[in-house]
Chain A
Amino acid sequence: MRDVFLSNCEKNFINKVVVEGHRLDGRTYDESRSLSISFGSDYGSCMVSLGETKVLANVSCEVVQPKQIRPNEGTIYINLEISPMAAPQFEANRQTEFSVYLNRLLEKCYKDSKCVDLESLCIVVEEKVWSLRVDIKVLNHDGNIIECASIATITALAHFRRPDVTRSGDSVIIHDITERDPIPTVLFHYPVCTTYAIFNNDVLLSDPNFLEEQVCTSFSEESDTAGGLLVIGVNQYKEVCVMNLTGAAIQGTNLLNKALSGAGDKCKEIVDMVKKAIVHDDTLRQKRTKINFSDVITQDHLLCLSKKDLSIKLKHYNIDDAVENDEMDEDESEPEPSKYDVVASVPQTAEIQTKKGASQWIEISSDSEED
């Protein structure tokens, strides 16, 4: 499907409203949408929703041969996918400019900032290392995917545990999770990306939704200085890991300083939330509570339903009985053989059984005479 286009009416309205100090959904300029994190049954799988934007992240691991230039380091691979589930305009199994851009930002934020201790992922130097793979799936696109995806990535990485490994001589034994407690991944720092939408080169909107993102990146007639999107990745020590600006150039350092200090505070808040969520999840797992994505399903609105006792009383279908009954029926109501029915009189043969008596051929000679 083609991209969704904005009407001038919507564009102008949002531009006007933002200058007056309002936002369409009633938030203030630096207010984010509500963040919620839920975990799946496996280690390293989580679903993060930021308002209506929803992202699923999964971390998996496998043993591979290390790169030649880094023989004692594991590898990390980040893959973000946008399927038509996110929004109808996306096509399946196709890399778009947008998805490449998001992938690269996440790579910069997590791979290039060296937040994962890759050396701890080494099993045997030059032979075997762990390779972590982060699969991120965008479920619903309501703006600010990058912030939602980055929270999901850091949560999944922090939550993930890999199987324990012991070495005996030359062989390496990978222990099952039920056998030995799995090992958490070592993270040096927790970077999180935040997005600011810039309007008219002086207003910063944190956590823009889909409409605000579209408006600030599109050219508008009324204001000659077009806005842009500013992505800042900061860790909990307020160190900048990644910065990306799309759209117009920023005039002056004032705006950037404001955005940086705001991003630092916000990231610290988010990281605290992520850590708290993981600790909470861990205590639940210690108590052997079953955690599952089915907990995501709420029951508090009209379109939900849950049924616990789905039971049905069924007769035990005894196949032998059924076959006997069928045979009985056949015996009772066996139809008279019609004139040309094929009936076997001796097993494994077939013959045409006809009614006995005189031939019933119609005499056609009389008909032909009438004609």
Chain B
Amino acid sequence: MEVENTDLKDFKLRPMKCECNFLSKSDGSAILSQGQTVALVSVNGPLDIKMTSQSIEKATLEVLFTSKVGKPSVADRYKEHVIRQTCESAILGSLYPRTGITVTIQELEDYGGFTVCSINCACLALLNAGVAMRHTFAGVACAVDEQGNIQLDPDAAQLETARATMNFVFDSREKRLITSLTNGSFSEDAYKEALERCRSASQLVFDFYKDIVSKYSYVIG
């Protein structure tokens, strides 16, 4: 890894744009763009579900991921699984026993970092729906290029030349790692460095959440 001076360096995330309550029929919804990547998420719940899928301990969380074009694929199911695990750690499901919460994700544009964008969007939609949560969660993506440099929030062009991509999701209270999703090969040091950088950068996303909620809620902010 090339040695750089230890001065503070500027790291940028792509511009974020969000609209909550985008859909009128859902209990909560949000559309979020991070750069050119756009995701749309709707949340319904807690609602009445089939007896067979009810749990007496906590709410059953269902995540549906729909890609832009074509039939549903195995990759979609995998993404659903990752996002479900992430949301489940945050939602206080024990407050809504015998009910279901449905999170539906629609891909609109994918120009890199779609997983992270949909996770952030899901968090905003859950906030919008008023589902009780332990903490909010924010995802940050990064890529390791051929030289071993770590790029925060890479776009499509950077991803094409990347050796590895990493996605991290943190909770808002202690910035603990909730989800880590990596692709490609990298050294252990690179992983640690990327983790710490993303952890610091997640504060920007949490600030964004706080700003959007404090626009209409005077209690917060």
Contact = CB atoms under 8 A, between A and B. Distances in A.
Interface of A: 1-2, 40-41, 45, 47, 52, 54, 56, 58, 60, 81, 83-88, 92-93, 133, 135, 137, 139-142, 290, 292-294, 296-299, 302-319, 321
A85 B215 contact: no
Contacts of B193: 317, 319
Contacts of B27: 88
B13 A310 contact: yes
A369 to B, nearest CB: 56
Contacts of A40: 108-109
B14 interface: yes
B89 interface: no
B197 interface: yes
Contact of A310 (B12, B20, B47): B12
B18 A292 contact: no
Contacts of A311: 10-13
A305 B203 CA distance: 17
A315 B6 contact: yes
B161 to A, nearest CB: 17
Contacts of A296: 31, 38
B25 A140 contact: yes
A92 B103 CA distance: 11
17 contacts: A1-B44, A1-B49, A41-B111, A87-B25, A88-B25, A88-B26, A297-B18, A297-B33, A303-B19, A303-B20, A304-B17, A304-B19, A307-B17, A309-B12, A312-B201, A313-B10, A318-B3
Contact of A305 (B6, B47, B208): B208
Contacts of B9: 313-316
Given A88-B102, A319-B192, A307 B70 contact: no
Given A84-B64, A133-B70, A303 B15 contact: no
Nearest to B7: A316
B26 A137 contact: no
Give the interface size bracket for B toward A.
35 or more
Interface of B: 1, 3-27, 29, 31, 33, 36, 38, 40, 42, 44, 47-49, 62, 64, 66, 68-70, 72, 102, 104, 106, 108-109, 111, 128, 189, 192-193, 196-197, 200-201, 203-204, 208, 211-212, 215-216
A318 B2 CA distance: 9
Contacts of B20: 303-304
Contacts of A60: 69-70
Nearest to B62: A92
A41 B36 contact: yes
Contacts of B19: 297-298, 303-304
Nearest to B105: A85
Given A294-B109, A299-B17, A314-B201, 5 more contacts: A40-B108, A56-B106, A56-B108, A305-B212, A311-B10
A40 to B, nearest CB: 6
Contacts of A297: 17-19, 22, 31, 33
A316 B196 CA distance: 10
B178 to A, nearest CB: 20
Contacts of A304: 17-20, 212
A179 B9 CA distance: 39
B59 to A, nearest CB: 14
Contacts of B109: 40-41, 292-294
Nearest to A40: B109
A312 B70 contact: no
A137 B25 contact: no
Contacts of B62: 92
B209 to A, nearest CB: 9
Contacts of A140: 23-26
A81 B66 contact: yes
B17 A306 contact: yes
A313 to B, nearest CB: 4
Contacts of A292: 33, 36, 38, 109
Contacts of A302: 215-216
Given A294-B33, A312-B204, A317 B197 contact: yes
